[in-house]
């Protein structure tokens, strides 16, 4: 049921929808969670032992971590609208894409918090001084870089191999990507359209392209996530800290018997 939030300018009531609570994990899943928790370092087990994170919260965090990837990244190059910036970030978080890279030039990065719905708290947002520097940093990690482009200049989205390390570039809403950026990419793609409209809004284009990329990986691997053990451990620590909202585990109490030896 919606709940009353505030009153509109005309005096009529405005309502805000309440989020549907997630169902509790099944007992067998909680048993597996406990086994995993016992294998974690003491400072992470403390989030359970000191009641900082509930079993349900940790269960859903672990589910998300299992679907996270750092080998599919999103690049915003000149995307200036705050709502579109925020919508792309929210799409990335929802799909398990951990990294958003920025090469905005003189544009300000100010994503709308009403649109992000806190999605930015779970992402790594990395700014670069220019696109050439950004592209070089990703290529050093083995990434191919493909730009979203117009139909007559690019191959179909559905022909791209998304199972390799790849970054997808989205540009300015009215003008697209400049030639200097396109020259720094390994290729470009378009999203096939079957209606009379000539283009998608950039946030819609990002949602379509990234959803396809993630689904391609799921079909190939059985799941879209592919963090290595080191990446998984580091991101788990970050997620636990974020989920605890600033509360940190207390250090263990010294054992007097051990100290006296």
Kindly report, residue by residue over 155-206, the tens digit of the pLDDT: 999 999 999 999 999 987 777 788 999 999 999 999 999 998 888 899 999 9
- Average pLDDT of the residues of the chain: 89
Number of domains the chain contains: 1
In the predicted model, what is the mean pLDDT of residues 14-42? 86
Enclosing domain of residue 198? 72-221
Question: Would you say residue 19 has pLDDT above 80?
Answer: no
Distance CA 83, CA 76 (A): 13
Find the CATH number of the domain harbouring 206.
Answer: 3.40.1280.10
Residue 94 near residue 207, CB atoms below 8 Å:
no
Polymer length of the chain: 261
- Please indicate, yes or no, if residue 136 is contained in any of the structural domains: yes
Q: Percentage of residues in the chain with pLDDT exceeding 70? A: 87
Distance CA 173, CA 156 (A): 20
Kindly report, residue by residue over 111-169, the tens digit of the pLDDT: 888 998 999 999 999 999 999 999 999 999 999 999 998 766 789 999 999 999 999 99
What pLDDT, on the 0 to 100 scale, is given for residue 1?
A: 45
* List of residues 6+ apart from 143 with CB closer than 8 A: 71, 73, 165, 166, 167
- Please indicate, yes or no, if residue 5 is contained in any of the structural domains: no
Residue 126: closest CA among 145, 98, 99: 99
- Please indicate, yes or no, if residue 217 is contained in any of the structural domains: yes
Residue 91 near residue 206, CB atoms below 8 Å:
yes
- Please indicate, yes or no, if residue 137 is contained in any of the structural domains: yes
- Please indicate, yes or no, if residue 17 is contained in any of the structural domains: no
């Amino acid at each position: 049921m919606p709940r009353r939030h505030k009153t509109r300018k005309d005096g009529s009531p405005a309502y805000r929808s309440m989020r549907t609570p997630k169902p509790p994990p099944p007992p067998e899943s909680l048993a597996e969670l406990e086994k995993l928790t016992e294998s974690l370092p003491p400072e992470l087990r403390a989030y359970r032992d000191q009641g900082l994170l509930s079993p349900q919260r940790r269960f859903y965090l672990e589910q998300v971590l299992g679907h996270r990837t750092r080998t599919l990244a999103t690049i915003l190059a000149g995307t200036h609208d705050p709502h579109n910036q925020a919508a792309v970030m929210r799409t990335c978080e929802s799909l398990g894409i951990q990294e958003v890279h920025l090469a905005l030039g003189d544009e300000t990065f100010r994503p709308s918090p009403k649109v992000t719905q806190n999605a930015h708290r779970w992402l790594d947002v990395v700014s670069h001084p220019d696109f050439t520097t950004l592209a070089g940093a990703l290529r050093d990690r083995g990434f191919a870089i493909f730009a979203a482009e117009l139909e007559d200049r690019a191959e179909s989205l559905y022909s791209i191999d998304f199972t390799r390390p790849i970054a997808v570039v989205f540009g300015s809403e009215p003008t697209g990507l400049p030639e200097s950026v396109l020259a720094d990419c390994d290729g470009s793609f378009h999203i096939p359209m079957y209606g009379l409209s000539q283009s998608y809004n950039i946030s819609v284009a990002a949602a379509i392209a990234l959803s396809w990329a993630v689904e391609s990986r799921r079909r190939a691997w059985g799941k879209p996530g592919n963090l290595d053990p080191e990446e998984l451990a580091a991101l788990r620590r970050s997620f636990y800290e974020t989920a605890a909202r600033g509360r940190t585990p207390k250090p263990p109490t010294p054992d007097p018997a051990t100290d006296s030896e």
